[in-house]
Chains A and B, each alone.
Chain A
């Protein structure tokens, strides 16, 4: 188990370094000179342009820039943004907000998807099954920005139940609406998956045995059916977590959440290399960690899975 964990963590290191290299190269290869963008519609004088290119090290060859960046990152320094702020600070400020948003969304997703999946799996053809089918179809066919605008207009502007934007107040209550919308964005697949999985487990031999032993439905459903149906759904939740962080970009823009999405979008548009590369690296890191955690969860869910040497 420990050996497995150490091996997984060591495997993550080349992935991370490879990621920084690829992303740095892609941002480097983006056509256009970001310094020119700083001047708006006015062309800067060549001497001033050169001076600023020097300041941001844009005049160095790619590999020198990249190694400088990597060297600084290894010392814990992610560089500076065009506005002169430390990227470390920007990371520390924005990631907790986005993680909180993603966490709210994933909790809602897990609870709702399992509830709907379980009920419709146990009673296929029942009213809940039809409702959840219609519900998933509706959600899967709707782009997230449409969901965002509808929820914002209806629940915040018209009914006044929520604040339309998050802004400075990042309390859970204030982030609930974007959290729900974000959850709806990914919820359709796990509902269907949970339903299929529950139906399959219900028909398996051990469930029949459990019933014939005289166990009550109240005991069989949570312990035997639900637990065994969780494995495929858990994988889905794991990959959804990554999707939520990415999908948060749109949601964050519409609900004005001061998280990763906005900052990253602006940084890409402006060609701020240190910011873009550092953000993506941290995202990859989170994704890797979540995947390791999910793999460990399998063992907890299914005793047959063991991480031996």
Chain B
């Protein structure tokens, strides 16, 4: 569009002409929705589910829930947990946790926040027949069952403000998980009519809905500060108005025009210009989002096992390494993403405590054409390659540019045919993977952390039979290391085990790491103190507006 100067002038002339001819007076543009003086306007999207903590697993609703609810702990910008409603969380064996809730906290309807608020909410969230999207968060608690309605027997009330949690196995990072929205408490009134509650949620967080009708569907939600909240996230502003945008482009235009205070996602089209548009009000830093593509390591169970015939055993290992080294990550993140992605050097994210870029074997993630060719030839010696290497992705997620670039990089380096295989929607691509009807060797994968711990990037994805182990990877050595890490209390010692586990992954490459997505955002001239946290969301309560 930058070359469209003449077109722009002409169109402007034409539009102006139309204005004159129709006799419309320009300047009728009242400002959008800039609320009271100290109210921050931020971008968001219409929640895809009712606002119930255990049923919200996407960012649109999550952003609102984090503002209106307070859990046992909250996360600081770097991901370290701080007690919010909890007074203490204690354990001796990492399997039984005694949780004491600070007295005096209330929901905005006056109900106290006590042990029952948490126990009842968690029981509700875990029960199969309630069909909650986040129920898997409770899978480690004793009594949990995916198959039948079974109460969490591991939750026991000691007194009004104390309860214990017993897990099936020791998990040293359990307290770290408690800041995720699935673990928020609910007031008794919620259980009377959950649907109505999801429309007008009553929370205990730093903000609350500003009144009946605060949530204008598809338009915005107005949040006022909660005067009764006494936790650590005390709002430094007078409220929060989250405006729902259908496209990031519209939100960006509003930010430039001064109608929006904080934006947490720059539209792709402006990757190249936003830093000069916004100057020091631009934000571009790594986020807890890991992107990769996966080649299944077992052929059994797939509808078309021949798709993976060259990716099994020793031959597969060599080919994965060759493909990984054939991708010029630096160039793709620079050219396609204009520096808004950071080339990956492991399987986690730089915002997580314990991340390192110096794992043994990490050179397999560096572009090296000669070594890639050598490895590919070695694999060809086992069984000669034929056909096209394809990566399946969903076409509704803006992935085409980089998939094509990765395919080109592979094609140019290894001299084989490589291309992307788009499926129209996300639901369709997930079905191809879950129902195992995939017909290409590779498919796009990605992971956004639920809580700031290395385990969250490894356990659910690569442990044998884990819930998101789409490629069917299984390595007993890896399983042993992460299980040992999960029961190790000392965080540094645990992280060391996770790093060792990752060194195994770097050799096997069950997924081929590509890059970490950065959080790109910006803020207006009127606001200060804008800080983006470990999982890419601005800490709204800290923001001040003059």
A-B contact pairs, 13 of them (CB 8 A): A38-B48, A45-B146, A83-B47, A111-B22, A112-B21, A149-B1, A151-B15, A168-B219, A169-B31, A180-B24, A258-B244, A269-B425, A269-B426
List the A residue with the shortest CB-CB distance to B129.
Answer: A51
Instruction: Please state if B467 and A45 are interface contacts (CB–CB under 8 Å).
Output: yes
Instruction: Please state if A150 and B12 are interface contacts (CB–CB under 8 Å).
Output: yes
Binding-face segment, A18-26, A153-161, A208-216, A298-306: A153-161
Q: Specify which chain B residues have a CB less than 8 angstroms from the CB of A266 in the assembled complex.
A: 46, 246
Partner of B431, one of A32, A116, A153, A254: A32
Instruction: Please state if B219 and A167 are interface contacts (CB–CB under 8 Å).
Output: yes
User: A176–B19 Cα gap in the complex (Å)?
Assistant: 10
Instruction: Please state if B396 and A269 are interface contacts (CB–CB under 8 Å).
Output: yes
Instruction: Please state if A51 and B131 are interface contacts (CB–CB under 8 Å).
Output: yes
Instruction: Please state if B446 and A164 are interface contacts (CB–CB under 8 Å).
Output: no
Q: Specify which chain A residues have a CB less than 8 angstroms from the CB of B480 in the assembled complex.
A: none
CB distance from A97 to the nearest CB of B (A): 9
Binding-face segment, A8-16, A134-142, A225-233, A288-296: A134-142
User: A55–B129 Cα gap in the complex (Å)?
Assistant: 10
Q: Specify which chain B residues have a CB less than 8 angstroms from the CB of A174 in the assembled complex.
A: 28-30, 32
Instruction: Please state if A165 and B18 are interface contacts (CB–CB under 8 Å).
Output: no
Task: Give 1 or 0 for each of B469-488: 1 = CB within 8 Å of chain A CB.
Answer: 01000000000000000000
CB distance from B273 to the nearest CB of A (A): 12
List the A residue with the shortest CB-CB distance to B21.
Answer: A112
Binding-face segment, B109-117, B253-261, B344-352, B537-545: B253-261
Partner of A180, one of B18, B128, B199, B423: B18
Instruction: Please state if B17 and A135 are interface contacts (CB–CB under 8 Å).
Output: yes
CB distance from B298 to the nearest CB of A (A): 16
Instruction: Please state if A150 and B8 are interface contacts (CB–CB under 8 Å).
Output: yes
Give residues 411-459 of B contacting A (CB, 8 Å): 423-435, 445-448
Q: Specify which chain B residues have a CB less than 8 angstroms from the CB of A172 in the assembled complex.
A: 28
User: Taking the complex as formed, is B37 at the interface, i.e. its CB lies under 8 A from any CB of chain A?
Assistant: no
Instruction: Please state if B446 and A41 are interface contacts (CB–CB under 8 Å).
Output: yes
User: Taking the complex as formed, is A93 at the interface, i.e. its CB lies under 8 A from any CB of chain B?
Assistant: yes
Instruction: Please state if B447 and A94 are interface contacts (CB–CB under 8 Å).
Output: no
Instruction: Please state if B245 and A256 are interface contacts (CB–CB under 8 Å).
Output: yes
Q: A41-B447, A163-B29 are in contact. List 7 more A-B contacts (CB 8 A).
A: A115-B21, A135-B14, A154-B8, A168-B219, A253-B249, A253-B250, A269-B426
User: A176–B198 Cα gap in the complex (Å)?
Assistant: 35
Q: Specify which chain B residues have a CB less than 8 angstroms from the CB of A46 in the assembled complex.
A: 146
Q: Specify which chain A residues have a CB less than 8 angstroms from the CB of B28 in the assembled complex.
A: 162, 172-174, 176
**Chain B contact residues, majority secondary structure:** mixed
User: Taking the complex as formed, is B10 at the interface, i.e. its CB lies under 8 A from any CB of chain A?
Assistant: yes
Known A30-B425, A48-B128: A43·B467 in contact at CB below 8 Å: yes
Q: Specify which chain A residues have a CB less than 8 angstroms from the CB of B29 in the assembled complex.
A: 156, 160-163, 173-174, 176-177
Partner of B423, one of A32, A146, A162, A169: A32
Q: Specify which chain A residues have a CB less than 8 angstroms from the CB of B279 in the assembled complex.
A: none
User: Taking the complex as formed, is B216 at the interface, i.e. its CB lies under 8 A from any CB of chain A?
Assistant: yes
Instruction: Please state if B218 and A184 are interface contacts (CB–CB under 8 Å).
Output: no
User: A156–B249 Cα gap in the complex (Å)?
Assistant: 13
Instruction: Please state if A34 and B427 are interface contacts (CB–CB under 8 Å).
Output: yes
CB distance from A49 to the nearest CB of B (A): 9
CB distance from A224 to the nearest CB of B (A): 24
Instruction: Please state if A156 and B427 are interface contacts (CB–CB under 8 Å).
Output: no
Most B CB atoms within 10 A — which of A42, A51, A94, A115?
Answer: A42
Q: Specify which chain A residues have a CB less than 8 angstroms from the CB of B11 in the assembled complex.
A: 138, 142, 147, 150-151, 154
User: Taking the complex as formed, is B147 at the interface, i.e. its CB lies under 8 A from any CB of chain A?
Assistant: yes
Instruction: Please state if B247 and A254 are interface contacts (CB–CB under 8 Å).
Output: yes
CB distance from A131 to the nearest CB of B (A): 8
User: Taking the complex as formed, is B301 at the interface, i.e. its CB lies under 8 A from any CB of chain A?
Assistant: no
CB distance from A217 to the nearest CB of B (A): 21
Partner of B30, one of A55, A139, A164, A169: A169
Instruction: Please state if A167 and B445 are interface contacts (CB–CB under 8 Å).
Output: no
Instruction: Please state if B468 and A85 are interface contacts (CB–CB under 8 Å).
Output: no
User: A169–B246 Cα gap in the complex (Å)?
Assistant: 16
User: Taking the complex as formed, is A220 at the interface, i.e. its CB lies under 8 A from any CB of chain B?
Assistant: no
Q: Specify which chain B residues have a CB less than 8 angstroms from the CB of A177 in the assembled complex.
A: 29
Instruction: Please state if A258 and B14 are interface contacts (CB–CB under 8 Å).
Output: no
User: A111–B24 Cα gap in the complex (Å)?
Assistant: 11
User: Taking the complex as formed, is B501 at the interface, i.e. its CB lies under 8 A from any CB of chain A?
Assistant: no
Q: Specify which chain B residues have a CB less than 8 angstroms from the CB of A150 in the assembled complex.
A: 4, 7-8, 11-12
Instruction: Please state if A32 and B430 are interface contacts (CB–CB under 8 Å).
Output: yes
User: A47–B135 Cα gap in the complex (Å)?
Assistant: 12
User: Taking the complex as formed, is B98 at the interface, i.e. its CB lies under 8 A from any CB of chain A?
Assistant: no
The 4 closest A-B pairs by CB, nearest first: A32-B428, A173-B28, A37-B427, A162-B29
User: A296–B386 Cα gap in the complex (Å)?
Assistant: 66
Q: Which residues of A contact B (CB under 8 A)?
A: 30-34, 36-48, 51-52, 55, 82-85, 89-90, 93-94, 108, 111-112, 115-116, 135, 138-139, 142, 146-147, 149-157, 160-169, 171-174, 176-177, 180, 183-184, 252-256, 258, 261-263, 265-266, 269-271
Partner of B218, one of A147, A155, A171, A262: A262
Partner of A271, one of B7, B425, B445: B425
Q: Specify which chain A residues have a CB less than 8 angstroms from the CB of B17 in the assembled complex.
A: 135
Q: Which residues of B contact A (CB under 8 A)?
A: 1, 4, 7-8, 10-12, 14-15, 17-19, 21-22, 24, 26-33, 46-50, 57-58, 128-129, 131, 133, 135-136, 146-148, 195, 198-199, 216-220, 243-247, 249-251, 253-254, 256-257, 259, 396, 423-435, 445-448, 460, 467-468, 470
Q: Specify which chain A residues have a CB less than 8 angstroms from the CB of B446 in the assembled complex.
A: 41
Known A48-B135, A156-B257, A176-B28: A169·B250 in contact at CB below 8 Å: no
CB distance from B32 to the nearest CB of A (A): 5
CB distance from A27 to the nearest CB of B (A): 11
CB distance from B348 to the nearest CB of A (A): 15
List the B residue with the shortest CB-CB distance to A160.
Answer: B257
Partner of A84, one of B46, B195, B470: B195
Instruction: Please state if A32 and B427 are interface contacts (CB–CB under 8 Å).
Output: yes
Known A115-B21, A169-B32, A180-B15: A161·B220 in contact at CB below 8 Å: no
Instruction: Please state if B246 and A252 are interface contacts (CB–CB under 8 Å).
Output: yes
User: A155–B15 Cα gap in the complex (Å)?
Assistant: 10
List the B residue with the shortest CB-CB distance to A256.
Answer: B250
Known A32-B428, A36-B430, A111-B22: A43·B470 in contact at CB below 8 Å: yes
Q: Specify which chain A residues have a CB less than 8 angstroms from the CB of B48 in the assembled complex.
A: 38, 82-83, 270
User: A83–B58 Cα gap in the complex (Å)?
Assistant: 12
Instruction: Please state if B249 and A149 are interface contacts (CB–CB under 8 Å).
Output: yes
Instruction: Please state if B21 and A111 are interface contacts (CB–CB under 8 Å).
Output: yes
Q: Specify which chain A residues have a CB less than 8 angstroms from the CB of B249 in the assembled complex.
A: 149, 253-254
User: A84–B48 Cα gap in the complex (Å)?
Assistant: 9
Instruction: Please state if B22 and A168 are interface contacts (CB–CB under 8 Å).
Output: no
Instruction: Please state if A42 and B460 are interface contacts (CB–CB under 8 Å).
Output: yes
Q: Specify which chain B residues have a CB less than 8 angstroms from the CB of A138 in the assembled complex.
A: 10-11, 14
Known A157-B257, A254-B247: A45·B219 in contact at CB below 8 Å: no
User: A219–B518 Cα gap in the complex (Å)?
Assistant: 68
User: A20–B24 Cα gap in the complex (Å)?
Assistant: 40
Instruction: Please state if A157 and B256 are interface contacts (CB–CB under 8 Å).
Output: yes
Known A51-B131, A163-B259, A164-B259: A84·B468 in contact at CB below 8 Å: no
List the B residue with the shortest CB-CB distance to A139.
Answer: B14
CB distance from A50 to the nearest CB of B (A): 10
CB distance from B42 to the nearest CB of A (A): 13
Instruction: Please state if A180 and B19 are interface contacts (CB–CB under 8 Å).
Output: yes
List the A residue with the shortest CB-CB distance to B12.
Answer: A154
Q: Specify which chain B residues have a CB less than 8 angstroms from the CB of A47 in the assembled complex.
A: 128, 146-148
